[in-house]
Structure 1
Amino acid sequence: MGRSFAEPLDSASPAASSPGGPARANRQAEVVARLQRVLPEGGLLWVPEDTTPYECDGLTAYRERPLAVALPETYAQVQAVLRACHALRVPVVSRGAGTGLSGGAMPHREGVTLSLARLNKILKIDPLGCTAVVQAGVRNLAISEAAAPHGLYYAPDPSSQIACTIGGNVAENSGGVHCLKYGLTLHNVRKVRGFTIEGDAIEFGSDALDAAGLDLLSIVVGSEGMLAVATEVTVRLVPLPAAARCIMASFDDLQKAGAAVAAVIAAGIVPAGLEMMDRPMTAAVEDFVHAGYDLSAEAILLCESDGTADEVEEEITRMCEVLEQSGATAIAVSSSEAERLRFWSGRKNAFPASGR
């Protein structure tokens, strides 16, 4: 670090490591020189072997190598990177954990990838207000783990929750298997702080339950970093349910399974989770995680109920009746927490199972 690009080229210099000709190499050298001034040692990557892991997100069919990857550790460094890139007219693509499947973290060939992974502190858990204040690089699941001693958790649970970050969730408005009852990221975020692409500090939402004024939070959540780069998020926490059980219903026809979903909703039931998987997918995940799926079924439905023990018992009974009337050929209900988690493990691992 601290290299002057008037020095002779070696393997660590941007111009020496940049594929794409001298014009791109010179541009890369200019960008790296500027960003080195505002980032600590180890906070900037530009050599191909270092930037290769950042060429794509979970959508690996499309790849591009950025001019550089910035790894800021503070809000001030994020702001400085954005201001420097804006001054140089360099595109910036923000990145969380890179687990998304929409290409949201796809780099720009002539741009900088701004990774928020090092902003990974949980700043506050408020049991009374049922909120948590976290930095953008905090993992989704880590929020629930930190809130669990207070009897709370963060409801949105994307399949990649063990690795995905809250900043990425905000950018993509992520959901998860429990979004039917608890909503998407938007419905579970109180406030977002960050910076515009020009590097100006900005804040959306409020700590208040019902803030006055325009609902700008709904604009920034899901904007994929185009309107702002989130650095700090205040999320809503909900009480851990006293009980939860999951139904696995088998169907001999995919259309029947789809109709059963509509029938459950039409019955006035709002399951905590409701997912459908077809036969090719159940075969793939069963071979991968051994979730106990019915491999003879053309489709299965996973239907979860949570709440008090009495509420769960009543709702499970009602859902089983609706599923039977809708043509389910077999119905299994989890009898333990381990079995419930096993039922969901297949759905949670659908993507890695497909990629084997």
Structure 2
Amino acid sequence: RVLSVDYENRVAVVEPGVQNLQLSAITKPRGWHYAPDPSSQAACTLGGNVAENAGGPHCLKYGVTANHVLGLEVVLPNGELVELGGGTTDTEGYDLLGLFIGSEGTLGIATKITLRLERLPPAVRTLLVDYDSLIAACESVSGIIADGIIPAALELMDRRTIATVEDSVLAAGYPRDAEAVLVIELDGLEPSLDDQAGRITDICRTHGARTVRMALDETERAKLWAGRKAAFGAVGRLAPDVFVQDAVVPRTKLADVIARVHEICDREGVTVSNVFHAGDGNLHPNVPFDSRDSAQVERIGRVMTEIMHVCVEAGGTISGEHGIGMDKRKYMDLVFTPDALDLMARVRNVWNPKGLLNPGKILPERYRVVRNSDTEIDHNAPDGRAAVTGVTV
């Protein structure tokens, strides 16, 4: 349930099962919205968003979930109810609120969420830019940000994604012959938007854009966004399963990393389609496959492992918004030192000493809690390091 909305103070209090889009639908008539907008916002819950620190297309300008959560009511594994943060900015002491957001259910369960609302922008410009080259589209992204423009959203889709969207019920009118398109949205005060749109148009054309088209009205804008947000579902029609990867690389490395992703997939004989938050370098290579075929599963595993290594080598990291879960535990050593991982395990054990909540998530398998009794907890620490036991910090 949405428990309360305080428009004067820009605050909403919700229970964790409220759908992301539901909050914006309730507040829109009064001129407000909740800014983080995952592609799954019609289905995903705000509690899940907190657990994953979810992002979305418009988080380039407005920030991810953590930037919009003011407070949480949390049930700890021992049943204790605690308040983290509050209804106003809370900067004193340790940032326990920030620690909890993105913890994937390993520290506690959020039962009440206090969120910051944003005013709906007074004006919006939405551009569709198409290219004969995926690499040129990636280079345009770096050019736009380097020029000092921060769009509200800057999304990229490649040829395969375009085709699957256009074959779906949410066809958006994307050019089927394009190798890539950018969906770029600007918002703010009316006088500045046309100038920014003009600068973006010049930058994109400098990098080889074929056409730059601006949505003429809200209906056309909504259609462009409906296609983009339906992209993952559309790709899901291609095979029984789809592996959706999530990683982040520096914007200046987008073109190189995308080229490497295609090299890897071509070599392994798998099909890849790309739809991602290009503005912040958040990649989402999608690989359709059939999980009933063990050879395909093995091949997909090799592909994703190599892609993760490529992203880290490019100066990136292993997750942007989808979290770690169990699948990416094996990659944590690529980006964190043993000391850092050991400290994370110690922090987790303070909150969740018996490993009752979401066991096995985030940290590598060697940090899994093994309950020898009701009071003693053993961790198989790496390389003969001292075991992390109980709530020792």
Offset of 1:180 from its aligned partner? 0.2
Aligned to 1:209: 89
Alignment of 1:139-178 (within 5 A): 139-178=19-58
2:117 is the counterpart of 1:237: yes
Report the AA paired with residue 184 of structure 2: C
Match among 80, 94, 104 for residue 200 of structure 1: 80
* Distance (whole Å) between structure 2 residues aligned to residue 275 and residue 197 of structure 1: 39
* Distance (whole Å) between structure 2 residues aligned to residue 139 and residue 319 of structure 1: 34
TM-score normalized by structure 2? 0.59
* Distance (whole Å) between structure 2 residues aligned to residue 263 and residue 287 of structure 1: 31
2:180 is the counterpart of 1:299: yes
Aligned to 1:333: 214
- CA RMSD of the aligned region, Å? 1.1
2:90 is the counterpart of 1:227: no
The alignment partner of 1:296 has SS state of coil
Offset of 1:232 from its aligned partner? 0.7
Unaligned runs of 5+ in 2: 238-393
Aligned to 2:129: 249
* Distance (whole Å) between structure 1 residues aligned to residue 76 and residue 63 of structure 2: 27
TM-score normalized by structure 1? 0.65
Aligned to 1:38: none
Aligned to 1:71: none
Match among 228, 231, 238 for residue 350 of structure 1: 231
Unaligned runs of 5+ in 1: 1-120
Alignment of 1:38-77 (within 5 A): none
* Distance (whole Å) between structure 2 residues aligned to residue 332 and residue 344 of structure 1: 14
Q: Is the Cα–Cα contact under 8 Å of residues 245 and 337 in structure 1 kept in the other structure?
A: no
Report the AA paired with residue 192 of structure 2: E
Report the AA paired with residue 212 of structure 2: I
Match among 98, 113, 137 for residue 17 of structure 2: 137
The alignment partner of 1:355 has SS state of helix
Q: Deviations over 1:259-303 (max 9, x none)?
A: 111001000000001111110001001111110101111111111
Q: Is the Cα–Cα contact under 8 Å of residues 204 and 216 in structure 1 kept in the other structure?
A: yes
Q: Kindly name which structure, 1 or 2, has the bigger radius of gyration based on alpha carbons.
A: 1
The alignment partner of 1:329 has SS state of strand
* Distance (whole Å) between structure 1 residues aligned to residue 29 and residue 217 of structure 2: 21
Please identify, of 314-323 and 186-195, the stretch whose mean Cα deviation from structure 2 is larger.
314-323
2:187 is the counterpart of 1:187: no
Aligned to 2:158: 278
* Distance (whole Å) between structure 1 residues aligned to residue 100 and residue 34 of structure 2: 20
Report the AA paired with residue 290 of structure 1: A
Report the AA paired with residue 131 of structure 1: V
Aligned to 2:141: 261
Aligned to 1:290: 171
Q: Is the Cα–Cα contact under 8 Å of residues 249 and 329 in structure 1 kept in the other structure?
A: yes
Report the AA paired with residue 126 of structure 2: C
Runs of 4 or more above 6 Å deviation: none
* Distance (whole Å) between structure 1 residues aligned to residue 44 and residue 98 of structure 2: 21
* Distance (whole Å) between structure 2 residues aligned to residue 327 and residue 210 of structure 1: 47
Please identify, of 305-314 and 250-259, the stretch whose mean Cα deviation from structure 2 is larger.
305-314
Offset of 1:198 from its aligned partner? 2.2
Identity %: 45
The alignment partner of 2:209 has SS state of coil
Aligned to 1:323: 204
Alignment of 1:62-141 (within 5 A): 121-141=1-21
Q: Deviations over 1:11-61 (max 9, x none)?
A: xxxxxxxxxxxxxxxxxxxxxxxxxxxxxxxxxxxxxxxxxxxxxxxxxxx
Report the AA paired with residue 337 of structure 1: E
Offset of 1:214 from its aligned partner? 1.2
* Distance (whole Å) between structure 2 residues aligned to residue 312 and residue 336 of structure 1: 15
Higher relative contact order (CA 8 A, sep 6+): 2
Q: Is the Cα–Cα contact under 8 Å of residues 273 and 303 in structure 1 kept in the other structure?
A: yes
The alignment partner of 1:186 has SS state of helix
* Distance (whole Å) between structure 1 residues aligned to residue 191 and residue 225 of structure 2: 22
The alignment partner of 2:48 has SS state of helix
The alignment partner of 1:174 has SS state of coil
Offset of 1:308 from its aligned partner? 2.0
